Structure 1
């Protein structure tokens, strides 16, 4: 249950929903498996999986929700190959080239025929809602997937005003300063061994480094040439390691061994729900503290205008 990635959002004018009302609303938008001709579907699931019927877990103001996303995998190359074969057969039979509209109709026909036979991929996307800090974090590998979950939450609640979390100091500027000058690194920040450097202008090349000394000569030379850090690995207060991206996404999260040991030593009596809630309580507290520290290092939070799509 430990999150791997996190996209962060500020909640504005959060709706006053108690746990019971929210659970009922989530249940109404529960996930259902794909139908035969559906390409994708997203709905709420129980965070503890089949071992529970609860759609919401709330501990000391921290809420945990889970969404399931299913999609059929139909490669465009497969559709294209079949369309070209059918088009060639028709052109031979009719003695004329097919018009663009006719080829488009063929493509739609092939897609509808092949879709029910395509493989189905299921993905779980967890949402952490810190109601005390009005913060939402979504455990998703991409911003697009996180936005999909937010759209589902808006649909479930009827309205939800959120903006991507933003800081006064852009992450790229701060990360570049931390790399280039050790004296400007905040106390409690320890560099990791991953970095991504991009040229400031006129050059689309990207320099990526893994398992390397970030204080080494190669990195410093690249910075002196004008490159800026768009991803940087570091640890906050020895409790949470991450790769920070230029859009403030937290990637490759890794929690301290002491925290994982504490979780594993907790007696859950073999109850998967107790195990889930124990892990979530420990994880959410560390996330909340670490994100507050990160925001402070980045000059505080930037003001933003709330939006309600």
Structure 2
């Protein structure tokens, strides 16, 4: 269950429910498979899998939850082809073009008929809630999917005031500075070998992997005005990641020592115990790294709390 990605959010004035109350609230919005007429459904599931009915795990103030998302896969090309055939048949029978509104109604009819036949795809998205630091991290590849989890949590709790985590120094500026001036790099920062540089003039993007980021070529591009939008960084003994300009952490790789410690812990083949062992190690590493990252980028930006 080690996170591959992490979108970060700051909680504002959020009431921390007792574990039992939160479990009850999650149960009210438990996942149920999509019906034949539904295109999509989301709900809470047990992080430890089908053999467990525990929807939230807590280790020293760190809480883990999981949202299941199921959708029916109905390709637009299939729908459009069926609509085109039916529309052509009606136009020939009626001897006139099908009005736009009639074509839209025909499309809705086709989708309603084909939806029960469509395959389903199920995805799980984990949410880590550091209640002591008032921080939420979501293991999603996109910001859109992360926001979907927050919407479900907001619905479950009744309200949820969160904003994307932000730093005083914008990540793009900080990453560009670390690349162009080696002396500006924090002592605890490990520089990787992957970067994405954007040009402000023409929106051109240069992506490089397995390169020396201190090379003359990279430095020349920076001197030409390019800004870093992605950069692989890390911290010794914790993790490596690709930092994005929206402060998202992608392609997370946790330190081998942490993974070894997790694998050597006796869990008695209990998936819940194994999950909590991994989660305890992962959440502590993430929390420590995020604190470092905020410090590297000049501290956290002051932002007004959103409405519920």
Using the size of structure 1 for normalisation, the TM-score is 0.98
Contact 1:12 1:134 in 2 (8 A): yes
Contact 2:16 2:131 in 1 (8 A): no
Superimposed CA distance per residue, residues 70-106 of structure 1 (whole angstroms, 9 cap, x where no aligned partner): 1111111111111111111111111111111111111
1:1-309 superposed matches below 5 A: 1-200=1-200, 202-309=201-308
| 1:303 Cα deviation from its structure 2 partner | 0.9
Which runs of no fewer than 5 residues in structure 2 stay unpaired? none
User: Take 2:221 and 2:117, find their aligned partners in 1: how far apart are those partners?
Assistant: 50
User: Take 2:290 and 2:51, find their aligned partners in 1: how far apart are those partners?
Assistant: 31
| 1:51 Cα deviation from its structure 2 partner | 1.8
| Structure 1 counterpart SS, 2:279 | helix
Superimposed CA distance per residue, residues 112-151 of structure 1 (whole angstroms, 9 cap, x where no aligned partner): 1111111211000000000110000000010011001001
Moved over 6 A (4+): none
User: Take 1:226 and 1:187, find their aligned partners in 2: how far apart are those partners?
Assistant: 26
Superimposed CA distance per residue, residues 21-77 of structure 1 (whole angstroms, 9 cap, x where no aligned partner): 000000110000000111111100000011211011001000000110011111111
User: Take 2:16 and 2:281, find their aligned partners in 1: how far apart are those partners?
Assistant: 25
Which runs of no fewer than 5 residues in structure 1 stay unpaired? none
| Structure 1 counterpart SS, 2:8 | strand
The range that moved more, 215-224 or 273-282, is 215-224
Q: Root-mean-square deviation (CA), in Å?
A: 0.9
| 1:308 Cα deviation from its structure 2 partner | 3.1
| 1:204 Cα deviation from its structure 2 partner | 1.9
Contact 1:188 1:238 in 2 (8 A): no
| 1:238 Cα deviation from its structure 2 partner | 3.9
| 1:249 Cα deviation from its structure 2 partner | 0.4
| Structure 1 counterpart SS, 2:141 | coil
| 1:211 Cα deviation from its structure 2 partner | 1.6
User: Take 2:88 and 2:235, find their aligned partners in 1: how far apart are those partners?
Assistant: 61
| Number of residue pairs aligned between Structure 1 and Structure 2 | 308
User: Take 1:117 and 1:221, find their aligned partners in 2: how far apart are those partners?
Assistant: 56
User: Take 1:181 and 1:8, find their aligned partners in 2: how far apart are those partners?
Assistant: 27
Superimposed CA distance per residue, residues 177-203 of structure 1 (whole angstroms, 9 cap, x where no aligned partner): 111111111111111111111112x31
| 1:160 Cα deviation from its structure 2 partner | 1.0
Contact 1:6 1:250 in 2 (8 A): yes
Contact 1:175 1:229 in 2 (8 A): yes
